[in-house]
Amino acid sequence: MEDFPDNNPEPEIDDDSVIIEPEEAEIEGDFEGGEHLQLCVGMGIRQRRLDKYLNGRFGQFSRTTIQRLIKEQGVTVNGKPAKASQKLNPKDLVDLIVPPRPVRELVPEDIPLDVIYEDESIIVINKQANIICHPARGNTRGTLVNALVFHANKIATVGEDFRPGIVHRLDRNTTGVMVVAKDEVAHWRISKQFHDRTTRKSYLAITHGCPELDGDCINQPLGVHPGRREKYAIRHDIGKEAITFYEVLERFKGFALVHVKPRTGRTHQIRIHLAHIKNPIVADDMYGGKLVYPWQMENREPAVEEPIISRCALHAWQLEITHPETNERMKFEAPLPPDMQLMLEELRKYRCLKKAK
């Protein structure tokens, strides 16, 4: 399998930066931790210490937490590293990575976890389908973080400082590798890697149709869909840069197995980009994918049957990071889940053509 070029890699962050307008009010929101925010200092603020300013804007975090975040280089002022004592003035731009929430706000739930790797700083899991990453409005239970809190209560290596920090997110029905930080320091250090473009991610997807090229780069800006807020779309007017490299691994009659490496991490990026080249992901009904039934695969008469796969056929296959404590470069891999493996077996049995060169 050929690797993809690394010239001028783009950020591998999963959410767009948020610009907060100049004001002094406390910032409230369903922050999951790991978000990159940019604050513009208001005109009424002069010579205020950075730590006091941030503590005033983020009342949910203690001043000690804010100071540790600054010390760990999770905050910059006007694009430069900052100290807690640095004085702020109007129009200064403060960039920060939001810390994870305190564990006391989270309810432990006995939800099975497929743990790939674990130590005192991080836990790497193979995320299952049909689970969201973090509690939010309308989804306060049954999330990955609820499962992590339950898991942490059973292991001796986790102390009072445990913060299940979601560093990057996968869509509800996307399976595969995810890394979670166990404390604030690990969280900020790994979040910074995503922001500084030093992580590497790759995915496997089963698409409708075969891409015309064996491999290519899709460079199309993405933004919120103009008509549906829960969707995203290619937006040349307001969209942010989004770059996806792909390589066709296997071709089938009417389908393909595609290896994808996103260079940016926009919401729904892979799903939208593959749909853009007329190869939507199987069962991704939001972006043009369809369910596939056994009778269709075998070219039989229509029958009442369960679909071969009932969720978006997208899997986070590999993730490469630098360990936040040891600085060791680490690569993790999650095998294909049973539903995608079954889909491939059916394709190889009934729709086999040839492998891509």
Catalytic residues: 171
**Phi, psi of 267, rounded to the nearest 5 degrees:** -60, 130
The span from the CA of 15 to the CA of 169, in Å, is: 9
Contact 132, 178 (CB under 8 A): no
Contact 63, 55 (CB under 8 A): yes
Single-letter residue type at 350: Y
The one-character DSSP state at 105 is G
Contact 137, 184 (CB under 8 A): no
Please give the full DSSP string across 29-96, using - where no structure is assigned. Answer: ----S--EEEEE--TT--SEEHHHHHHHH-TTS-HHHHHHHHHTT-EEETTEE--TTPEE-TT-EEEE
The span from the CA of 52 to the CA of 58, in Å, is: 10
